[in-house]
Structure 1
Amino acid sequence: MTDSNDTPDLQSRITPRLIESLYTEAMILADEARAYFDDEGREERLTLEPFVRVGFACESLKVTTRIMHIVAWLLTQRAVEAGEITGADGGRPERRLGKATESDPAVVEQLPPSAQRLINSSADLYARIRRLDEGQLADEPVASPARALMGRLERDLIWNRT
């Protein structure tokens, strides 16, 4: 029999170890993307049709944007863990994962395999981080005015009885 208290909550899933692991993964991906789009990718890009070259450039920007949003979110999580900001502030828009544009599968399939791998890896990592970010909001208690009123009434009734 499983008690609801045995179910891990989001705080136990987002641990400093997980944040560090994801941060390392993001930084490795960022380095691979930089190396590819600055060097090897330039040569491959020259072999593409002009329209596909534009798609290549757009997708390289999308990869960079995804990675920057991921790194910013992970650094925010580190700051929460270090006590530099409070976890209760996590729902504020500037503490949430930034919106990244999705890749167009029709464009991606025309690109070289190395570019496809980086695009798909960045999209996968972004999706995993997005699930963690959305999970933080789902686990935050929603302030209910009715519950607050009931709590005050209960306190007042108990206080007046004594």
Structure 2
Amino acid sequence: MSRKLIDSLYVEAMVMADEARGYFDAQADMDREALDIMVRVSFSCESLKVTTRLMHIIAWLLTQRAVLNGELHSTELSDPRHQLGDTARSDPGVVARFPFAARSLIEASQDLYDRVARLQGSMIANGEIMPMIPSSPARQLLDRLERSF
């Protein structure tokens, strides 16, 4: 994994998060007023999707940086909590009804998420992240019992 790639994606995600915060905190209120009530609800939902998407991306990139800095061992990347979280996709038909600035942010966040997801997929395919083999329910129950006593 290239430090330059991770760092550039991190900077991109942080800039986009700042742009999203700036837009949804200020300009979005004026843009929202021009929309009908159902589109306003969708608009609010999409702002949450953008924020969630960006936070998942940033968390994943921080994890990769921790591995590169030796703060986290690469074997821990197989833990689902260190992998890119799932996010809801935006409906292009709904997004098309939003103002240009909102559409741009939504589409850019989805594009960045897709690129990071492909990067993680490539790391899994190259063996850099070993998928966890889930233990059986019986083994999980025995492990819980052992931890309790």
**Counterpart secondary structure, 1:84:** coil
Q: Give the unaligned 5+ runs of structure 2.
A: 132-149
Q: Radius of gyration: which is bigger?
A: 1
Name the TM-score, length of structure 1 as normaliser: 0.77
Distance (Å, rounded) in 1 between the aligned partners of 2:125 and 2:73: 17
**Counterpart secondary structure, 1:103:** coil
Distance (Å, rounded) in 2 between the aligned partners of 1:39 and 1:85: 38
Distance (Å, rounded) in 1 between the aligned partners of 2:70 and 2:49: 32
Partner of 1:91: 78
Within the candidate set 127, 134, 147, 1:140 is matched to 127
Give CA-to-partner distance per residue, 1:29-64, whole Å, 9 cap, x none.
000000000101110001100000001000000000
Name the TM-score, length of structure 2 as normaliser: 0.84
Partner of 1:120: 107
Q: Does the 8 A contact of 1:90 with 1:136 survive in 2?
A: no
Which amino acid letter does the alignment assign opposite residue 85 of structure 1? L
Partner of 1:152: none
Which amino acid letter does the alignment assign opposite residue 63 of structure 2? T
Partner of 2:5: 18
Moved over 3 A (4+): none
Deviation at 1:113, TM superposition (A): 0.6
Q: Give the unaligned 5+ runs of structure 1.
A: 1-13, 144-162
**Counterpart secondary structure, 1:27:** helix
RMSD between aligned residues = 1.4
